[in-house]
Amino acid sequence: MSRIGKAPIPIPDNVKVSLEGRTITVEGPKGKLSMEIHPDMKVIVEDKQIRVERPSDRAFHRAMHGTTAALIRNMIKGVTEGFTVVLEVHGLGYRAAVKGKNLELNLGKSHPDIYPIPDDIKIEVKDNEIHIHGIDKQKVGQVAAEIRALRKPDPYKGKGIRYKDEVIKLKPGKAAGKK
């Protein structure tokens, strides 16, 4: 049995969970999230906990068991605490600024890159760091990946946008005068 799937998911006091058909809705102090549950999985909401059950021991059902439980846990964490991803901007003259509903990035190009901020995501810029906040873990990660893709870290100089804890192994430059 999946260790993640078989553990009951506790529901905090300030969170309301409802199950209508195949849709689970989690509502908390930071917002409301909904998710469609796979037809093979059975979700049981009972006094302050949620249990996920699977119909068989097939590999697919085992995988869906743990995945469904993890997604529900992430929904509960999102509406109570929220998720944050921090990106760092490295490079001479590389800057980021929030202007209205857009993130403006100067990344050494002839023009600034403009990234429109989605409605349910909040972006703050502090020094050379971009803080991305939201209640949906998948969406926060997707926005961070899209911003990082505008200028990935250069393997030779290390310039570009990277995750806060990302380590870039710099490659040596061209060896001069080898004979």
Show me where the domains of the chain are located: 3-80, 83-163
Tens digits of residue pLDDT in 141-176: 999 999 999 999 999 999 999 999 999 999 988 876
CATH of the structural domain 3-80, one choice from 3.20.10.10, 3.40.1280.10, 3.40.50.620, 3.90.930.12: 3.90.930.12
pLDDT at 5: 85
Tell how far CA 23 is from the center of its chain. Answer: 21
Full-model pTM: 0.89
pLDDT at 177: 55
Beta strands 49-53; 31-36: pairing state: unpaired
| Topology agreement, domain 3-80 and domain 83-163 | yes
What is the CATH code for 83-163?
3.90.930.12
Residue 98 pLDDT class (50, 70, 90 cuts): very high
